[in-house]
């Protein structure tokens, strides 16, 4: 494989990102969601990244915003969604490299953690843990096991901070 470059997305990348997401997910739904994210308060350009190989965008990941609401109130937190890699480039470590870079960006931004819905096996290998173990609740699709609600703790995470526990609310942009 040639050198892989991971960098923030640019508006010139949007069409290629759409192609990656449609190929990775098999329809336009996720790509349409990314378009809506870019128009909302949850968009975080610094942690919306592409993987480029031989000048071609081959992967994409975003860390966006969502809200956790609990007994101590409501606060914004970070969410990783979506992660997509062109099928012909999968199983080469590109997705893992994108996730690590996005998590580094969230850490740099001072986030306490990043939540996501996803494969416990895949994301567990990248250091994600079951969200419920940290007092974080997420509504999951019927097909997803409870372990699909996951969290990656960052250095500013304070287990004594009650504002970090509660139910994750998805902004309307997620439909």
26 contact partners, CB below 8 Å, separation of at least 6: none
Q: Is the pTM of this model over 0.85?
A: yes
pLDDT at 172: 78
Mean pLDDT of the chain: 95
**Do the Cβ atoms of 83 and 51 come closer than 8 Å?**
no
CATH class of 4-174: alpha beta
Return the exposure string of 124-135: e unless at least 16 CB atoms fall within 10 Å of the residue's CB, then b: eeeebbbbeebb
pLDDT in tens, 108-154: 999 999 999 999 999 999 999 999 999 999 999 888 899 999 999 99
- Residue 18: pLDDT band (50, 70, 90) is very high
């Amino acid at each position: 494989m040639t050198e892989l470059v991971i960098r923030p997305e640019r508006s010139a990348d949007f069409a290629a990102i759409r192609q990656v997401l449609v190929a990775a997910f098999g329809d336009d739904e996720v790509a349409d969601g990314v378009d809506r994210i870019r128009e909302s308060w949850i968009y975080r350009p610094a942690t919306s990244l592409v993987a480029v190989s031989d000048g071609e965008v081959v992967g994409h990941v975003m860390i966006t915003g969502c809200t956790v609401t609990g007994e101590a109130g409501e606060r914004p937190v970070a969410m990783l969604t979506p992660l997509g890699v062109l099928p012909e480039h999968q199983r080469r470590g590109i997705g893992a490299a994108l996730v690590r870079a996005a998590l580094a960006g969230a850490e740099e931004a001072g986030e306490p953690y990043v939540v996501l819905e996803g494969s416990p096996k895949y994301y567990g290998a990248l250091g994600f843990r079951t969200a419920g173990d940290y007092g974080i609740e997420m509504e999951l699709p019927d097909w997803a096991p409870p372990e699909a609600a996951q969290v990656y703790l960052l250095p500013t995470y304070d287990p004594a901070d009650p504002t970090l526990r509660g139910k994750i609310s998805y902004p309307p942009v997620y439909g």
